[in-house]
Amino acid sequence: MFNRRTLLAAASAMAILGMAPAASAQDTLDIALISKGFQHQFWQAVNQGAEQAAEELGVNVTFEGPDNESQVDRQIDMLAAALAREPDAIGFAALDSQAATPLLQQAQEAGIPVVAFDSGVESDIPVATAATNNMAAAALAADHMAELIGGEGQIALVVHDQTSRTGIERRDGFVNQIEASYPDIEIVSIQYGGGDHLQSTEITKSILLANPDLKGVFGANEGSAIGVVNGVTELGRDDIVVIGFDSGAAQIGAIRSGTMAGAITQNPIGIGYETVAAAVAAINGEEVPETIDTGFYWYDASNIDDPEIQAVLYE
């Protein structure tokens, strides 16, 4: 499931534990992970990786997130509650890259290491960020979009938000690549659906109705991409090239059926695993890499069953 770097990180973290003073059972390390949500299979896969690391490294991990990725205030409340119990470390995937700064400063002042995961924060407080290189991943999605529409025409983006680093970087990575490399492609609309597939469906339909010559749409996360597929399907626009991000059962099904041309998949289990491993290292006073690149892959009908791709897909 994990690449060589991930396995080395795990081995390193376990070695660190072995070098540290042994903790008694009642002193088991406590790591609080606050994600962006629970409604997507992506976050369930991140949790799976975190639990695997927790079991291997002998630590306690809690994992929670708001009901959906628009609930910034709810996520902040969860972060405050986690801080109140004084965990040994915190993992945080920010819905708003700036809103959590005061609470993260409190963690820093209390000597609680913070590891950012999936989304970074506009701060130097996190000791590490375990995430996909979203700019590069979105640029790869743009290259495939350009190829599939013949290098010209109108396209649009449905993005989950403009406050998280993932939303910003996937939008900018895609847009920058199109503008730099494909002068005959015009981006006619960028809309934000909060990562909610129902809202993203309605946004997609409005974009399609307003732009009858549209050739393609990029959905920048799991919920956005599912919404794009639903919107295209409901309007009978099987001529639209749909490219997604992440995986999950709905996207995998859409690629197998041909409704979606392809997508970028991350390594969510690896993200969860690396976050916990980095937290353990930080607790033990070891240096951790500032950026932990957990990788990404393009997948479509031609390679979806390849072992390398199957290892990072989740349903």
> Do 33 and 103 have their domain in common?
yes
The residue to which tokens 């299979």 are assigned:
41
Comparing CA positions, the residue from 123, 130, 132 lying closest to residue 96 is 123
* DSSP code string of 16-64: HHHHSPPPPGGG--EEEEE-S-SSSHHHHHHHHHHHHHHHHHT-EEEEE
Task: Determine the Cα–Cα distance for residues 273 and 199; give it in Å rounded to an integer.
Answer: 31
> Do 25 and 87 have their domain in common?
yes
> Do 182 and 271 have their domain in common?
no
- Give the pTM: 0.83
> Do 147 and 224 have their domain in common?
yes
The tens digit of pLDDT for each residue in 125-149 reads 999 999 999 999 999 999 999 999 9
| Structural domain contains residue 315 | no
**For position 143, which CATH number holds?**
3.40.50.2300
> Do 42 and 161 have their domain in common?
no
| Structural domain contains residue 51 | yes
Inform me whether the pLDDT recorded for 15 exceeds 60: no
The tens digit of pLDDT for each residue in 114-127 reads 999 998 888 899 99
pLDDT at 197: 94
Task: Determine the Cα–Cα distance for residues 230 and 219; give it in Å rounded to an integer.
Answer: 11
> Do 127 and 144 have their domain in common?
no
What mean pLDDT do residues 51-72 have? 95
The tens digit of pLDDT for each residue in 230-254 reads 999 999 999 999 999 999 999 999 9
Inform me whether the pLDDT recorded for 1 exceeds 70: no
| Structural domain contains residue 311 | no
pLDDT at 10: 44
Q: Residue 246 belongs to what domain range?
A: 134-265
> Do 43 and 125 have their domain in common?
yes
pLDDT at 184: 98
Inform me whether the pLDDT recorded for 309 exceeds 70: yes
> Do 104 and 175 have their domain in common?
no
pLDDT at 19: 41
| Structural domain contains residue 11 | yes
Domain boundary among 222, 245, 265: 265
Local confidence band at 294 (pLDDT 50, 70, 90 cut-offs): very high
Inform me whether the pLDDT recorded for 5 exceeds 50: no
Domain boundary among 221, 243, 265: 265
| Contact by Cβ (8 Å): 91, 117 | yes
The tens digit of pLDDT for each residue in 209-233 reads 999 999 999 999 999 999 999 999 9
* Count of domains observed in the chain: 2
pLDDT at 8: 39
